[in-house]
């Protein structure tokens, strides 16, 4: 399960990421509301940990945006603001929980795990492209209606490519969304995963193609009817 940590303090991000990873969660981080929006557009998260004091906007504006889009991903607010008014405002606006800084990482993990248990097993969100379907919550893929086992990394890649549907997915975006910005994964390594995903799709008779855009990234398109 992947969690988005929206926090502008780099040290705190590192601390939280280490704790979440120890708890078996994958972590992406965003330092601004704009970064977080970009991540939410291209990836599904099991939960969001949201700081309120961010450099470009109030974290609550991200929560508002998510709820307007009917995005029901659980959001745990993390903030130095301890006033009761702030807590109520956050919860009123659709936050699932609230933790005041400073906090113990054990408490963050415990609360996050409680949220993940409460969240529906499947959000029913299914991406489709050509004859490929991917149920994003459980990472269940099917091709031409038949379930296909897709390893975790390849499933992450597939999700990003399907969400961008025909639009370019840059190396930088893939690195950040699939491998974590800090992983230092090379373009060659990404190429290897793309190659495996292509082979998996082709073997299963998928009617989509992953196109390489030299020096830029990849895009995935459904085969056009006349080319089939």
Q: Which stretch binds Ca ion (CB under 5 A): 2-10, 14-22, 98-106, 108-116?
A: 2-10
| Angle, CA 30 vertex, CA 28 and CA 36 arms, to 5° | 100
Total residues contacting Ca ion by CB under 5 A comes to: 3
Q: Choose which of 2, 4, 5, 8 interacts with Ca ion (CB under 5 A).
A: 8
> From the CB of 67, what's the least distance to Ca ion, in Å?
21
Structure tokens at 201: 């799709």
Q: Sign of the CA dihedral 72, 76, 78, 81?
A: positive
Compute, in degrees rounded to 10, the torsion defined by CA atoms 201, 165, 94, 137. Answer: -10
Least distance from C-beta 5 to Ca ion, angstroms? 12
Which residues within the stretch 115-134 sit at the binding site for Ca ion (CB under 5 A)? Answer: none
Q: Which of residues 23-82 bind Ca ion (CB under 5 A)?
A: 51, 53
Strand partners, 128: 133
Q: How far is 73 from 100, CA to CA, in rounded Å?
A: 20
User: Segment contacting Ca ion (CB under 5 A): 6-14, 60-68, 69-77, 117-125?
Assistant: 6-14
Cα 74 to Cα 63: distance, rounded to the nearest angstrom: 10
Residue nearest to Ca ion (CB): 53
CB of 37 to Ca ion, least distance (A): 17
* Contacting residues toward Ca ion, per CB under 5 A: 8, 51, 53
């Amino acid at each position: 399960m992947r969690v988005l940590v929206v926090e502008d303090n780099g040290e705190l991000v590192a601390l939280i990421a280490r704790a979440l990873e120890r708890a078996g969660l994958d972590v992406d981080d965003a330092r601004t509301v704009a970064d977080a929006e970009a991540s939410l557009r291209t990836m599904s998260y099991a939960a969001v940990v949201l700081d309120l004091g961010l450099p470009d906007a109030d974290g609550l504006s991200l929560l508002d945006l998510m709820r307007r889009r009917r995005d029901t991903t659980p959001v745990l607010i993390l903030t130095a603001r301890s006033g009761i008014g702030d807590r109520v405002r956050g919860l009123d606006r659709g936050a699932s929980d609230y933790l005041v800084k400073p906090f113990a990482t054990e408490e963050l993990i415990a609360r996050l795990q409680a949220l993940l248990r409460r969240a529906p097993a499947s959000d029913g969100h299914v991406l489709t492209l050509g004859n490929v379907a991917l149920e994003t919550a459980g990472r269940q893929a099917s091709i031409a209606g038949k379930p296909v086992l897709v390893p975790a990394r390849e499933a992450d890649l597939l999700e990003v490519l399907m969400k961008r549907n025909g639009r370019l997915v840059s190396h930088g975006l893939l690195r950040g969304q699939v491998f974590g910005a800090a992983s230092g994964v090379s373009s060659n390594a990404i190429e290897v995963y793309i190659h495996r995903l292509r082979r998996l799709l082709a073997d299963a008779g998928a009617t989509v193609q992953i196109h390489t855009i030299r020096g830029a990234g990849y895009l995935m398109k459904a085969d056009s009817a006349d080319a089939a």
